[in-house]
Every structure is written in structure tokens, then in C-alpha cells.
Amino acid sequence: MKKLLTFIFSAVLAISAAAFAACEDIEDRAMQSRIINAWLDDNPDTDAAAYELSVDVRGVYGDTYVFYLNGPFGYAQALTYTFIDNVYFAYPDFQQLEVYNDGEIYTLEEAFDAGFLTHENLLDIQKKYHRNSNWSTTGNIIWNYMCEHEGLTADDLSLRVHWYGGASAGDMLHISQGFALFIDGGKDYDTAITTIVVDGVEFVYPTSQQLLFYGAYDEENDTEFITLSRAFELGLLDHTQLLEIKYNYENDIKISLD
């Protein structure tokens, strides 16, 4: 049942993501035309014509425009995941964020690597893209946690993500991507410290927090929130990744989720 609820919720979110707030206005219609023509040049195999396309801009940074196109692309519910400089994006395939600069089209990652976008720009884009949208990766994770722990509300919980592992797979699991995260709240704990050791890597943190791997469904334990030791056992995490999680947590390096 949990798996079914999770699937239904994710599908609803993907559909709801189409209902974004109005884009930033581009008064210069010639610029919209330049973006569309550059996109068509970059996608010569498309069947779309210029008159069928419109530009929704989610950020303007000097001469750099971050946008997605509306057009006859269909409305598949698949999501695209992009992770750049510890900033995480999830958006429907039919609304993929792209970048225009000086007549050329770039992916977000290419634009960041080329110096057209800064880390602060990425955070701004993330916020603007999801403004007034029902899609939220953070909200999805918290909602799934509440499904597994009856009686909790979103106000009871807070979430901090310290590692993102991208797509992977493991035995007995259905997984699209992996996060290592702390969930705070949901239970009353005495003031204490938890110490766990996984493959020789020691983690020390307050007992009021739970350090978990999220992004898979563990059928044996009927949960999407897996302990690090179990994640290691199932091949979802290796020794190097455990060290990365430990380093990020101890140095307060966080992943920015939408």
C-alpha cells in the first residue's frame, strides 16, 4: 500500500508541476524569437515550428536567460533530475530547463561550467522554477515519511540532506536516486548521542536525529527509509560514499532541495 500511495503521490506531483506561476516577463519579443530560433537550430530533428513555441523564463542573469519552452511536446509524467554544485532540480521532462546565451543553447550544467551561472543563480532558479508549484522533493520525502509513521504531521519534522548519489539499483529494491539525510523530530528522545559504525566508518550524532538512506524501497523491511548499515549491505552505498556522507555531515555541507 505504501508503494502504491507513493506512486500515486509522485504522479500527482508530476502533473501538478505543469501549473507554474507566470514566467518572468520578457518585454523584448525579439529576444523570445532569438531564443526560439536558437533552440530550433540546436534541435534540428524536432517537428515543432517556431509559431508553435513560447518561452517561459525562470531567470535572467545579465545576458543569460534560463527558460523552458512550451510547445507540442506531449505531457509524459517522467521527471528529469539535475544536480549541480549541491543544488538539486527535479522537473517534468516536457518542461526541461535550458539556458540561452549569445545565440547558443546550453544545459544548466554546461552554463554553470562555462561561468554563465553562479551558485547563487542556481538557488534563485530553483526557487523561481517551483514558485506556486505543488512539486517539492522535500515535501515528497516528508510526506512519504509520514505515511510510514502514523500520527506525524509535517510540522513535527525537519529535513537536512547531506549527500546525493544519483541513479543506482540494489537487490530487492525499486530505486530512482539516493539521498543520505537526517530527519529531525517525530519522537521524544532523551538527550543522548548515537554512534554507528558502517564498514569502519563512524557516525556520531544526536539521538533526536535519524540518519537514513532514502530513494529506494526495501521490500524485506517494508520501508523507503533505510539505515546506512542496511543500505551498505544491499549495495546502495559503498565505502567511499560512506566517507563522503561523513565528511559532508561533519562539515555541514548540505544539498539544496526544491
pLDDT tens string 105-135: 999 999 999 999 999 999 888 877 765 444 5
Q: What is the mean pLDDT of the chain?
A: 76
β partners of residue 157: 185
Q: Would strands 104-106 and 98-101 be described as parallel, antiparallel, or unpaired?
A: antiparallel
Alpha helices in 53-202 (DSSP H): 108-113, 119-129, 137-148
Instruction: Name which residue leads in pLDDT, 42 or 177.
Output: 42
Copy the grid coordinates of residue 164.
546525493
pLDDT at 40: 94
Q: Mean pLDDT across the stretch 165-191?
A: 53
Greatest mean pLDDT among 8-22, 47-61, 142-156, 164-178 lies in 47-61
pLDDT at 126: 82
Question: Is the pLDDT assigned to residue 195 strictly greater than 80?
Answer: yes
Instruction: Name which residue leads in pLDDT, 90 or 117.
Output: 117
* One-character DSSP codes across 126-151: HHHHTTT-S--HHHHHHHHHHHHSTT
pLDDT band at 224 (very low <50, low <70, confident <90, very high): confident
pLDDT at 22: 39
Summarize pLDDT for 2-55 with one digit per residue, the tens: 444 343 334 433 333 333 333 454 557 788 899 999 999 999 988 888 988 989
pLDDT at 41: 95
Q: Mean pLDDT across the stretch 196-222?
A: 85
Q: How many CB atoms lie within 10 A of CB 29?
A: 9
Q: What is this structure's pTM?
A: 0.58
Question: Is the pLDDT assigned to residue 59 strictly greater than 70?
Answer: yes
What phi, psi does 155 have (nearest 5°)?
-70, -20
Q: Kind and range of the H or E element at 181?
A: strand 178-185
Q: Mean pLDDT across the stretch 224-248?
A: 89
